[in-house]
Chain A
Amino acid sequence: MSELIQIGAARPKAPQPQDLTLRWSERAVEELEALKGHYPDLKSLILPALWISQREYGGHLPPEGIAEVAARLQRTYAEIEGVATFYSMYNTAHAPGRHMIEVCTCLSCHMCGAYRLADILEEKLGVKMGETTEDGVFTLHEVECLDACDRAPVIQVGPDYLDPQATLQDEGGEAKMRAWVDRLIDDLRSRPEPSSVRLADTVVQVHVRATER
């Protein structure tokens, strides 16, 4: 919205549904067809379809990915975009790195040193919260409660919950955290598969029945 604004200037038109390039794989289309039987109407399918689209578009939901969902569900673009931009787990704003590290900073994790852990991650990766490393491997995010207080401080990478098994209050806790973060970064670097795609796929598989996979 930052471009030069001119009153009365015509806005670009949204593409016609028939002009879209549909990029979903055959498997995704089959999953969508299977899901159609789970709900009374296509409107109810918006959330699972957006997860499929996020997986198909590489862990990111660009405008094209939203438009494809709209075209496949016969809804309007604006309606689907409104839903997609409401939920923070759909990555509509920008493409995340290969691994999105989400640090929980809610109460229990905070008590156990989540911000110290976050500082260590920022220091080791050389980026701030919400940023992606230059090589495009890591994106760091601060998130609200991950519902794993027993493992505090906890982080989420794709569908996996990970924790340093040490709190700030432990003897040598910070050193343990540092060592763990080093191991974590090395481990993630060696994994070529994007974790955000893995997360999206996990969610889709929760929706699709075993018989439909």
Chain B
Amino acid sequence: MAAVANVPLVKVSINDVEIEVPKGELIVESVKRLGLEIPIFCYHPRMKPVGMCRMCLVEVGFKQQDGSVRKMPKPQAGCTLPASEGMVVYTDTEPIHADRRGVLEFLLINHPLDCPICDRGGECPLQNNTMAYGPSTSRFIELKRHLPKAFPLSTYVTLDLERCIQCGRCVRFTEEISGDHDLAFRFRGADMQPSTFQLTDFESKFSGNVIEICPVGALTSAKYRFRARPWDLETTPSVCTVCSNGCNVWFDHRAGKFVRINGRANEAVNEEWTCDKGKFGHEHYNAADRPTQPLVRQGDGFAPTSWSGAYDPVLAAFAEGGDRVAALVGPRVSNEALFLLRRLFERAFKSARVSSNWRRTPGSGSVQGTIADVESGGPVLVFGTSLADDLPIVHLRLRKGATNAGARVVNAFSRPTEVDRFAAVSLHYRPGSELALARGLHGLLAGTGATAEAVEAETGVPADRLREAVEVLKEGGTALSSQGLYDLSDGPQIVEALAGIARATGGRSECWATGANEQGAIELGLAGEGATATLQACAEGRVKALWLVAADPFALHPDRALVERALETVEFLVVQSPVGSEALAYASVVLPTALPAEQDGTYTNCERRVQRVQPAVPPPGDGKPDWRVFSECLLRALPETPLFNPREVMEAIAAEVPAFAGCRYEALGPEGTVLGGNLLDTPDEPAMVGGQA
């Protein structure tokens, strides 16, 4: 972790092997360079070491002039010991084995050893360390302490106090990483318990992470509780598609059914964290009302049919439709499917009416930096977005930048948000005055004669605060917002004003997408006329056939009356959906498709990073991947060879869409690849962003 170029190297000897490590690196990290491991509980590479559990004890000494090693009389905790020149470390000696046995014996005094009924059993560091280093039998014959079991700390997190070994990882996570400090150690000694204030709800938006970092079964997931044993699970590396951050996750499944989500390390995106929306937002994979076979309208109901039986009426209704046929795409459709959909509409239906933009006003945002750039330490203006809700991982990055790199943050939102906790200045404006505030800040920063008092009158933000904000931002302030701004009636003007702020300060202008592949649709040129315009055309009878691709307009569009009118008026409605939705009731044809983790495809996240998702579980019933549906329609509609696997589709995208130039599956490294720069530089070599973790 500390491998920075300007840190001097020091020679240390670990188990009589000499290696060079950066000065000050913790011994627990240094031994990993030799492929060794020190058992740990409380130490976590992303949090400050505390030395609470004493599991990582090592023998430390220094070489004497006569060549002998003089050991310190007592063992040292490897997790708090920085490497220094000439240090001699032993991790595998008889006294250390005895120390580890002793530490584990103490830890197990108060541990119930109920592994057979514990969700953690099978993947539990305490279990593993006890098997590897602990005593084989217990000498403890006294009564164990008894505390509440399975206490619901929140809807998601269950606390079992008997199992807690008081390592403090969860408490430190809320203090150092998520920043909400919702958990603390209450009481002391054997009564010490990690919990919330008066056992109230654990409200953190990142609470799921404490389940993963708990080294015992004290914090378990209420959703995963007793659903599987770890050794029954299969796991597939995947990418979360709940929001636009594109967090890398492990998709755990059992017998073809989704079970749980765990964070997967990607230094460029989510490090290893997940948000609660992502971690607990995949239950719809197992929903009972998912369509399982193609259906065609028959009177008031549906008749099941084959895929070709469904394609025939669809192609008949859309063929050569021109402007009178349209498609609306949801935010979670892969690049490949989007591209084939556009090709199907352009070539077979002669229509350009494919739209993925569900915002109120048109706009394509702005991406100039990466997620990792957010923590670089420069001043940041967060504007008009609740970052922890819209871009949760960006929120964690920004907080890290503010606490570790000293970034000064100005948070502008109409109500208090989590960002206020670490922001240098908070601007709470009157709802609806976003444009006035953005233009006012721009005026103050650009020195165009605007006065803070005038902005105060328009927005309700005190003039002094505005002046403080300008002070913070004037040197390289980056404007960070989400494309949720386009849901405001004056969205494009606000984004323009924010770009002006970035120009005035010399910082970046970031207006990031919030849907899993919203940015991909923009890059592929599918933003289109916008869902509102299409729905209005449907409602007025100007569009006779509408194709909904993984989009529930009732959930995505705010104007319910318009959606109802549009779906009732349109003559032919194809609902291509992986999940049950209200729109199914209006459908002429229902095409069951796969969810993201059930099909092959790539997704473009908010920083334009293209990441591949591979199928983890099969779709239910006859469900097909979205791209395959369009490919099969193309095969039937046109006398040309269609693209029959997503790899070929990506090659076609790279050839046709300039933004994706050079993008191939082989070129997508383990961390994905950001569109632009490095792909174009090395068109023939596999591009790896950031290299191996």
Contact = CB atoms under 8 A, between A and B. Distances in A.
A10 B156 CA distance: 9
A63 B225 contact: no
B201 A11 contact: yes
Given A79-B184, A85-B188, A7 B158 contact: yes
Contacts of A66: 197
B187 interface: yes
B158 A13 contact: no
B216 interface: no
B148 to A, nearest CB: 5
A118 B61 CA distance: 51
B652 to A, nearest CB: 47
Contact of A12 (B155, B180, B195, B200): B200
Contact of B200 (A6, A13, A70): A13
Contacts of B531: none
Contacts of B175: 79
A81 B41 CA distance: 25
8 contacts: A1-B148, A1-B151, A7-B158, A11-B201, A14-B198, A77-B197, A77-B200, A86-B187
Interface in A107-140: none
Contacts of A11: 152-154, 196, 199-202
Given A76-B182, A79-B184, A86-B187, A14 B155 contact: no
A179 interface: no
B402 interface: no
A10 B155 contact: yes
A175 B150 CA distance: 54
A63 B201 contact: no
Nearest to B202: A11
B152 A9 contact: yes
Contacts of B155: 8, 10
Nearest to B157: A11
Given A7-B158, A11-B152, A11-B200, A81 B222 contact: no
A15 B498 CA distance: 35
Interface of B: 147-155, 158, 171, 174-175, 180-188, 195-203, 222, 225
Given A5-B148, A11-B199, A14-B197, A78 B222 contact: no
Contact of A1 (B197, B199, B202): B199
Interface string A1-40: 1100111111111100000000000000000000000000
Contacts of B174: 78
A67 interface: yes
A86 B189 CA distance: 9
Interface of A: 1-2, 5-14, 63, 66-67, 70, 75-79, 81-82, 85-86
Given A1-B199, A76-B197, A86 B151 contact: no
Given A9-B152, A10-B155, A79 B181 contact: yes
Contacts of A77: 196-198, 200
Nearest to A18: B416
A162 B61 CA distance: 52
Given A11-B201, A13-B201, A14-B196, A78 B183 contact: yes
Contact of A6 (B147, B152, B195, B197): B152
Contacts of B195: 78
A76 B152 contact: no
A147 B200 CA distance: 39
A85 B186 contact: yes
B184 A5 contact: no
A85 B180 CA distance: 20
Contact of B186 (A2, A75, A76, A81): A81
A7 B195 CA distance: 16
A81 B201 contact: no
A1 to B, nearest CB: 5
B222 A7 contact: yes
A125 B225 CA distance: 51
A11 B151 CA distance: 10
A78 B196 contact: yes
Contacts of B181: 75-76, 78-79
B158 A81 contact: no
Contact of B182 (A2, A5, A10, A78): A78
Contact of A76 (B153, B180, B201): B180
A16 B183 CA distance: 16
Which of A2, A63, A81 has the largest number of chain B CB atoms within 10 A? A81
A175 to B, nearest CB: 39
A13 B186 CA distance: 18
B39 to A, nearest CB: 27
Contacts of B180: 76
B166 to A, nearest CB: 12
Given A76-B180, A77-B198, 8 more contacts: A5-B151, A6-B152, A7-B152, A8-B222, A11-B154, A14-B201, A70-B197, A76-B184
B332 to A, nearest CB: 27
Contacts of B200: 11-14, 77
A81 B198 contact: yes
A1 B191 CA distance: 13
**In this complex, which of B149, B153, B187 has the most chain A Cβ atoms within 10 angstroms of its Cβ?**
B187
Nearest to B185: A82
Nearest to A76: B181
Given A7-B222, A8-B155, A10-B155, A78 B150 contact: no
B197 A78 contact: yes
B197 A63 contact: yes
A85 B197 CA distance: 11
B202 A81 contact: no
Nearest to A81: B197
Nearest to A2: B148
A76 B175 CA distance: 10
Nearest to A78: B184
A82 to B, nearest CB: 3
A13 B184 CA distance: 16
Most buried by B among A9, A14, A67, A70: A14
Nearest to B161: A1
Contacts of B158: 7
A63 B188 contact: no
A82 B184 contact: yes
A2 B151 CA distance: 10
A-B pairs, top 8 by smallest CB distance, nearest first, are A82-B184, A77-B197, A78-B184, A14-B200, A11-B201, A76-B181, A78-B197, A85-B186
Contact of B203 (A2, A8, A13, A63): A13
A75 B174 CA distance: 13
Nearest to B188: A86
Nearest to B189: A86
Max chain A Cβ within 10 angstroms of own Cβ: one of B174, B183, B196: B196
